[in-house]
Amino acid sequence: MNVTENPWQTLNSSVRYENNWLSIRHEEVVTPAGTPGIYGVVSFKNKAVGVIPIDADGYTYLVGQYRYPLNEYSWEIPEGGSPLSTDPLESAKRELREETGLEAHRWTKIARIHTSNSATDEEGFLYIAEDLVQGDHEPEETEDLRIWRLPLAEAIDMVMSSRITDALSVSGLLMVARLRGI
């Protein structure tokens, strides 16, 4: 069996909703079982980027904010959107600076992920940022952010106890834990 062959057939596709950040498509399909069906796909107009900043003392920085869709407060790694035509690393640098005021002299790409591939085509990129220099942060007008410097191991414990639930943050922090033997 060719695992790269698409067993789905798209009969019709139409955009049902669109704004500056995403669009939602309604698709009429033939399923892998050969039966008619429908599928809804959320397409983002940006890639997702996330940064795990690690300072010389082994501390990282989390960003806290209230997440409207969840109706709850969330601690996360610095993250945001990268226009589709922009290098994700350049957007990661911008997000780190905007959200924390940090700039890094050393960057390591650690992952490309799909955040929820059963309903969206969103692609995410994760980076470690090191050799940090502190400056002023410049949050966007929609962001009311809190910045928390804490030991990297404590942030990983927060993932393991579900106090951090954001997909980019969970993926990135667990990858760093594995890479660093934490």
pLDDT at 162 over 90: yes
Contact indicator for 41, 24 with CB cutoff of 8 Å = yes
**Helix (H/G/I), strand (E/B), else coil: 61:** strand
CA-wise closest residue to 65 among 43, 95, 44 = 95
In angstroms, the CA 17 to CA 13 distance is: 12
The percent of residues above 70 in pLDDT, for the chain, comes to 96
For 24-58, the pLDDT digits (tens) are 999 999 999 999 999 999 999 999 999 999 999 99
What does the pLDDT average to over 46-75? Answer: 96
Helices then strands, counting H and E runs in the chain, come out as: 3, 10
For 103-156, the pLDDT digits (tens) are 999 999 999 999 999 999 999 999 999 999 998 877 666 668 899 999 999 999
Give the predicted TM-score (pTM) of the model: 0.90
Q: Which residue has the tokens 């085509």?
A: 121
Listed by start position, the domains of the chain span 9-44, 46-180
Q: How far apart are the first and last CA of the chain?
A: 39
Tokens encoding 55: 């300072």
**Helix (H/G/I), strand (E/B), else coil: 140:** coil
Question: Domain 46-180: which CATH class?
Answer: alpha beta
Give the per-residue pLDDT at 144.
80
